[in-house]
Structure 1
């Protein structure tokens, strides 16, 4: 399997890193996301889907760059008692051509039970809504099916020894190679 088939988009690694979510406690009430539409410059594209990219992000780096970690948009991920390592950004359809599929059909708000089930994997209801609207609608008419597929792939990822990687300066290429080394069948680009 090529790195582009099931890949991790990796962000710079800060400080002493650890893999995956370290703790995740769901709130009693989760925020209701707003509907997502294509942004200026984005368009509906429906070429044939030929593969998928599993996109991960390093939560400590995200939280280090947000203006206000306690803001409603980032509070669950960046403030309070939750601690995350690698989180799922999304599962993105790909095609053989230069234009990847996106915004394939109108998207309703993801049901609360689906959001709640996947918040410890992707710790933002708005991110979940956007990923569903932009990418998931190209895979399935049902958000639960899209997020279940993403969850299966995310849980299958083996994470390299992040503490060892954090012991010295690393490039994104170093991190990609470390992921490829512990995930049989994944090759580097």
Structure 2
């Protein structure tokens, strides 16, 4: 019986390995199928990270609701990452210009190195595309600001985004969560930044029935 169990484990590992290797391959700049625009619910990040959170994002003087986590080149299955090493330099004016959407210098540089280098664009063009992708999505009015902890279902959040964005179908969006908090909304976009289907992203969506959205920090004001 032990030999049978070991054989099954080996078979499972061999079956899974190609998918994992494909997902994590370095990739070639400009060779991908679509983008994922990841919008992070900033209060969840701040609460989960606690004292390790980025001060620029989580200090009470800097309130944020949904922020851009990243614009990620994707394959239909898996994704490329870190396509240029070392990554091209991000000009300081470009970096500073993104801090209203991506409220951390560290986040901007990390996203460029890991994902932006796979887009086949220079830093200026890539971050311009990030901004245009964000502007192409309407954040539902209900999520511009929350003043108290709010319980939601992932389906309710998805429905709100779909209602605010005509043409956004169920297989083009995924709501993500940790064990108790809503963490991100991920929207799939083609190279022209129109909405597109993405079955793999949709399949990885949050399956928890109810999650909490922490509020913006008290006294922080509105972005």
- With normalisation by structure 2, the TM-score equals 0.58
Alignment of 1:34-73 (within 5 A): 42-46=24-28, 48-68=31-51
From 137, 143, 156, give the equivalent of 2:123: 143
Residue 81 of structure 1 is matched in structure 2 by 61
Is the Cα–Cα contact under 8 Å of residues 45 and 99 in structure 1 kept in the other structure?
no
CA RMSD of aligned residues (A): 2.5
Residue 160 (1) aligns with residue 140 (2): yes
Aligned length: 145
Is the Cα–Cα contact under 8 Å of residues 25 and 80 in structure 2 kept in the other structure?
no
Residue 99 of structure 1 is matched in structure 2 by 78
Q: Distance in 2 between matches of 1:171 and 1:108?
A: 41
Runs of 4+ in 1 over 3 A off after TM superposition: 163-168
Q: Deviations over 1:5-57 (max 9, x none)?
A: xxxxxxxxxxxxxxxxxxxxxxxxxxxxxxxxxxxx95413393111111100
Residue 188 of structure 1 is matched in structure 2 by 170
- For structure 1, the residue ranges without an aligned partner over 5 or more in a row are 1-40
Q: Distance in 2 between matches of 1:182 and 1:141?
A: 30
Q: Distance in 2 between matches of 1:169 and 1:157?
A: 23
How far has the Cα of 1:169 moved from its partner? Answer: 2.4
Residue 129 of structure 1 is matched in structure 2 by 109
Residue 176 of structure 1 is matched in structure 2 by 158
Change (3 A) 1:53 1:114: same
Structure ranking higher in helix proportion: 2
Q: Deviations over 1:64-94 (max 9, x none)?
A: 11231xx6x6111111411111100010111
What secondary structure does 2:46 align onto? helix
The structure that has the greater radius of gyration is: 2
Q: Distance in 2 between matches of 1:66 and 1:81?
A: 18
Q: Distance in 2 between matches of 1:128 and 1:83?
A: 18
Q: Which has the higher contact order (CA 8 A, sep 6+)?
A: 1
